Structure 1
Amino acid sequence: MTIQSVKLAKLVLSPINVRQAGEDFIEQLAADIAARGLIQNLIVTPAKKPRGTFAVIAGSRRLRALELLAQRGDIDAASYDVPVLVLSGSDALLSETSLAENFQKLAMNPADECRAFQHFMGTGGDIDGVARRFGITRRFVEGRLRLADLAEPIFTALAERRISLDIAKAYASTASQDRQLMVWQAYGNQSYQSADSIRRIIANETMKSSEPVARYVGEAAYVAAGGKVENDLFSDDGDRWVDPGIAQTLAAAKLEAEALRLGEEQGLAWVRPIAGTSTWEAARDLHRIHLPTLPLTLEQAERLDTIATRLEEIEDAMQGVEGDEDEATYAALEEEHETLSDEAQEIHDRPQILPDELKQKVGTFLLLGRDGTTTLDTTYYSETPIRVVAIEPDADGDEDKAGEDGGERAPRGFHIEEGPVTTGRSAAAPVAPEAEAPGGKALSQVLYDQLTVQRRDVLAASILANPALALDYLLFAMIDGRVNMLSHSGTTIRASHPQDPMLAKSVPATRARDYLAEAYDGLDASWTEACDKSSSGAATIGRFEAFRALGDEAKTAWLAWIVAASFEAKDGYTAKQNALQNRLATILDIDVATWWRPTAENFFDRVSKGVLLSLLDEVGGPALSARHASQKKPEIAASCEKLFAGEAIVEAEVKAAALAWVPNAMRFLDQADDADTGNNDDADAGFADLIVSQDPGIDDDDDAGDDIGDDIDIADLIGNDPDDDAANINDAANDEIEIVAAE
C-alpha cells in the first residue's frame, strides 16, 4: 500500500464502490474542501480502462465534491492533486475494503457539534463565516449554538445519548433555561414523552408568531408594548412570543375599536368581536334573524331559464359522446356545463335585505381569520325573537318595479314581528328532569353540557371491562344506523352510505350486485321489529336488546353485511385505488372474472374502436384484430361481447385469455402482494388472533374458509354461551350470507 498524489482528472468511480448513491450533502462537503482542502485521502485501485486512471473504491462523496468544485471552476481537474491510498487485489477484497471504510464510520455526536461551533464563535468567528466554511445554512449554525446553551442536565443527557436530538431541539425551542429545567424536572425521566409533547408543554404559556392574534397585532406593536420574542430555530411555525397576555390585550382593544367603528358605519345595534372564526359559543343564547333575499329581476329569471335549458342539452350531448376520439368535444361540453352552473349559482346567491327599521334591533360579529385579517359576519342576531315578513306589492302598483329594466317587483315593505326577550329557553317550557337543579330550576346550559361530558366519560370508562357488550353495541350502532334512518344510538360509530362517484341507477347491473341483494334478503331482521312505539328511545332500546339476543350465526351475518356495505368505490375524487381494499382482495383470493364480465353495456360501447382492436390483438393476436378492423364500432362491440362471454368459436387459448380478461380498473392491484412481504397463513388472520380463541377441531381441509375464518370461534367475543354451536365467520360469510349494500 502506498500513498501518492493523482490528478483529479485521472480518478473515476469504481463500480464495486459500495456507496453508489452518495449525493447527500455534496454541496456542504464541497464547501468544506474548498475552505480546508482534502483532509482524508481517497482509496483507489489501478483501473484497467482508460489506461493510467484510478478507480475510487472508498471516498465517492469526496470525489463528487471535488468534481463539483471542478465544474464550478474553483479547481482545475487536470492539475489538482488528490492524495490517494493505492490498493491492489481481487474485486472481492477491494469491495470488502470499500464496505468496511463506509460501514465503520460513526456519526458525530450532536453535542460535540454544538461544542465545536461554540468554540469557533469563541475564537472570533461569526455565524455567516462558519456557515460558509462548512457549506451549511446560518439557521443550522444558530440551531447548534442554541443547543449548546441548553440547561446543563439536558445538554449532558444529549451528550450521553440518553435523549435524542429531536428531544433536545424540543427543549431548545425556548432560550429560557429556567423554563427548560422546569419541564425537564417534571418530564425528563418519562421515556414515553415525545418531542412534540415536550414542545407543546414548553409552548403552553407562549404564543406562536403565526397564530391569528399575533398576525393581527403585529410584532412591532407587540414589542413596543414590552413583549419579548424568542426565535424558534427548530420549527417552521414562526417564533414564540413569551408574553401572550400583552398580545391578547392589544388584540382585544384593536378588535373592540374596529367593532365599534363598523357598528356605527353599518347602523347596527351592536357588533361584537370574536378572536376566531366560529360564532357558535357567542351566539348560542341569541336568535338568528332570517332575512328575505333580493328578488329576481326579470332579466335574471329569463337567464336562469335559458341556463336550465342549455344545461339539459349539454347533459344529453355528453351522454352521446363515445370513446377517446371525442375527448376534446366532451371536455368542451364539460367546461361549458361548469361555467353555466357557476353562473346560475351566482344568480341564486342574491344578497339578503336588511330593512333600515330593523338595523337598530340586531347585531352581528366581527371575526378574526387564521391569516390575521378581520371579516364581518353576514348573519344577524337579536336578543328577542324577530320574524321579518316581506309585504308583497300591489298587482297594479307602479312603485313595485325593481328597476327601469323591467325587473320583477320588489317588496313594498317589511312587517317585523317581535317576541319577548329570552335566553333561548321559553320561560313557560317545562324543565326536563335531567336538566333540573335542586329546587326545580333549570341548570345553566354551560353547566349542563359539562355534566353530560363527564357522564359520558363514566360510561366510557366502565364499558372497558365488558368487551362483549362493547362489540354488541358497536355492531348494533353501525347496522341500526343504516336500516333505521331515525336511529339515535348515542355514538359516533357509523357505517354510513359510501359516497359513490355514480348513482346506483346509472351503473349497469352485475352478478355481484344481485348476489348482495339476495344476501340482504336472507339476513335475520326479526330484531328490527322489536320496538316500543311509545317513544323513539324505547324503540331503540327494544331493537338493541333483540339484537343482543340473536345467535352467533345471525350476528356474524350482519357483521359481514355491514362491512361489505361500507366499502367505498375509490378514494374520494382521485383515480387511485384503495391499498387496503386491494390487500383484502388478495387475502380473499378474489377472481374478478368469475364475478364480472365485460359487455357492450358496461364496457365495449363505452370505449373507442381503437381500444377494442388493441384488446382483440392482446387476447388473440394480430390475426384476430385484423379480422375486425374493417367493421364498424357497434359490430366490433357485439363480437367482443360474445368473445369475452365465452360464446364465440375461437381457438382454446384465445377463449381462455378472453374469459380471464378484465380491465385494469376492475383489478385489485395489491402493492403488498407484488413485493414479497413474507406473510404466511397465520399472519393473514391478523387482528382476529388477538381477540378470538382458536378452535383446533376445525379440519384444515375444510374449504368453507379462505385465509380467514377456518379457525375463528367468536362465541367468547360476542358474549354468548361458549358451549353453543358458534358459527364460523367464513361459514356464515361464504355459505349462508350474501351481502348487499342497502340502497
Structure 2
Amino acid sequence: MAKATQKITMNPSENIPFDKLVLSQKNVRRIKNGVTIEELAADIAHRRLLESLNVRPMLDEKGGETGMFEVPAGGRRFLAIEFLVKQKKFAKTDTVPCVVNRSDRTSAEEDSLAENFHRERLHPLDELRAFKTLTDQGLEIEQIASRFHVTPAYVRQRLKLASISPKLLALYEQNEMRYDQLQAFSITDDQARQEQVWETVSRSQVKEAYYIRRLLTETAVRATDRRAVYVGIEAYEAAGGVVMRDLFEQDQGGWLQDPALLEQLVFEKLKVDAETLKTREGWKWVEAALDFPYGHTSGLRRFYGEPREMSGDELARHDAIKAEYDRLDAEYAETEDYSEETESRLDELGSALDALNERPYAYDPAEVARGGAFISVGADGQLKVESGFVRPEDEPVRSNEAGDEAYDEDRGDDGHVATAGNGVSANGKQVSPEGEEEDDGVRPLPDRLVLDLTAARTLALRNALAGDATMALIAVLHAFVLKTFYVSSSNSCLELTVQSATFGQTQGLAETPWAKEIEQRHEEWGHDLPKEPDGLWAFLLDLDEVSRQALFAHCASLSLNAVVEPWNKRPRALAHADQLARTIGFDMVEAGWAPTVDNYLGRVTKARILEAVREAKGEQSAQLIDHLKKPDMAREAARLLEGSGWLPEPLRPAPSSQVVDAVDDVVDEPVEDTPADTASELPAFLADQAQISADDTEAGDGDHLQAAE
C-alpha cells in the first residue's frame, strides 16, 4: 500500500502593528551592503512594501506568546519603515504585512540566512527588457535610476544592449557568449557588422573583448586622434558625423565613424587658419597641410623674431607674482610639513610666470613681407605654426659695395662673383670690355698676377691655420653654421660642403622624439645666432668652449646620413655609420624605437611578422597569431613585441668584425652594379631586396606589390 505524500502548510500571513515588532539580534546580516536604508525607505514610500517581513512570536517564561514579534528576516525593511516612522510618514500603530513562523523546525538564524542566501540577481537581459519597458512607459533614465537606486550610467548600459543583434543576445542567453564579450558589441549599432565580427572571432583563438572592440573600430578614428582633437567632437557631430561610444569601458571619448568627413573638416579648418594667420601677421605666403614631409624647409632661409617686450602692466604683474612666489617658496622651505595648499599655490604662480615669460615673437616687417609660414596639426591636436622662411626666389637683391648696380649675393659653384653692368670689377676699378682704363690713373693688376699672388697667400694662410687648432675649429664651425642656418650665404673662405639629407618619403619622422629634440635644439640656436652672417665670426669667437663644441656637434650631426638607398649603396659610408654608432654606444632600443604596425609590421609580409614574434617571444607566441589575416596579425604582433627590445635587421647594431670586413671587402673587391653581385655583398635584409628586384626585372616591367602575402 503506497504511503500518502504529506502536504505542506504555509506559514500564515498577518497584519501586525509596527509598534509590536522588534528587530531580532539573530539576523545574520551584520555588514551594510548595497542600497542604503534611506534609499530603501524612499522606495517603500513610493511603491509600498512588496515583500512581507518574516517574524516569530516572542514568548514569556512559560512559553506563551507575549503579543510582541521579533524580526529575524527582513531587518533592512524593518529599519526602512522605522525611518519612515521617524519622518512621520508612517504611523507606528499602522500594520505591516508579516509572515509569522510559529514552528520550531528551523531556527531564526537559519531563516535569516535562507532569505538572504536563496536569491538570484536578475539576468542582465531581463534588466534590459524591464528598463526598456519602463522607458516605453514614459519614464526618463534618471527616474529609473532613482527608483531602483542605481546610477543613470548603469541604466544606459543596460539599454545600450538593445542595440546588439538579437542573434548575439540569444547566444549570450544560451551561455555561448560571455557578458564582457557582449558588452564589447554595444560599441556600434550596426548589427550586420556585429554578426560579421562574431563570425571572425568564433573562428579565432583570440576571443577576448578587447579584440572584438578592435575589430569593430578598425575603420574608425579615436576621439584622441590629433585630427579629432583639432576639429573638435562638437564640430564633427554638427557636420553629421557619428561617434561610437563604449558605455562599459573607458573609451577616451569614443570613435569617430566617418574618417572621410573628419579629413574634410580638418582641411577646411586648416585653410581658414592659414588665411587668418596670413592676414593677421602679414606673411607673403602660408602653406597648410595635415603633415609636411620631414625636411620640408630644406633650401629655405629662416629668420627669427625677437620676443616682444612686456608692457608696464605686464612688468608690474610679473614682479608682483615673482615676489609672492619667492616669499612663499622661502617660507615653505623652512617648514618640515607637507602642505598641499602651498604646493598648489606655488604651481599656480609658476604657471603664471611661465605664461608671462613666454612672449610672442616680433618679426622684421620687411622680412615678413617676403617670408612665409607652414601650419600643420601637431601630435597633440593643436595647430603647429613654423614661421619665418624665405624662398630663394624671394631673397632680396643687394647692391655692391660701390653702390653702382644691384646684384644677387649668391655665388656660383665656382665661387666667382657675378659681374655687374657691361664691365668687370678688379681692385675696385671699373674696366671696359677692351681692358682700357676709364681714367688716366694706374692700370689695374692683370688678372693672372692677382691669381698667382692670392694663390701664394692661400698656401701661406693654410699653413698658418694648420698651426692653430682652435682657430681651425672655429673656421670650420663658421662654415658649418653658415651652411646650416644661413642657407645661401657664402661668407666663408673654406670650401667645405655640408649636406643634410631629407627624408620626405618617410612618413611620421617629424613626430619622433629624435626629430623633436633636433628641431628644438636648432630653433634655440637660431634665436641665439646673429641675424646677418656678417656678425657670425665675432659671435663664434665670443662663445665659450662648451657652447662652441655643442654648436659644432649640432651642425655636424645634421650632415650624418646612414640611409640605405637601393640606388646608392655606399657600403663604406654605412660601415662608418656602424663604427660611429658603436663608438658612442648608440642603440635603437635605448633610443626609444619599438616595432609598430605603421613603422614595420604593417609593411612586411606575414612570414616576416611571424619571424619577428618567433625571435622575440618564441614559437608558441608565433602560433597564437599564425592563423590571422595580415592586418590583425600585425596588430597582435605589435602587442606581443611591446617591451621585448626586438629590432629588425637594419636597426640592429653591427658586430665589430662585420664592420671591418665590410670595409675590407670594398677595398679589395669593387662593388659591381649587377643585382646578383650586389646581393652577395649585402646583409640579408638588403640581399633579399636585391634578389626581388632582379626577379622583377626578369619578369618585365609592371606593378610591384609591396608586402605581398
Interval of TM-score (by shorter of Structure 1 and Structure 2):
0.3 to 0.5
Highest Rg: 1 or 2? 2
TM superposition score normalised by structure 2? 0.46
TM superposition score normalised by structure 1? 0.45
- The structure showing larger relative contact order (alpha-carbon pairs under 8 Å, at least 6 residues apart) is 1
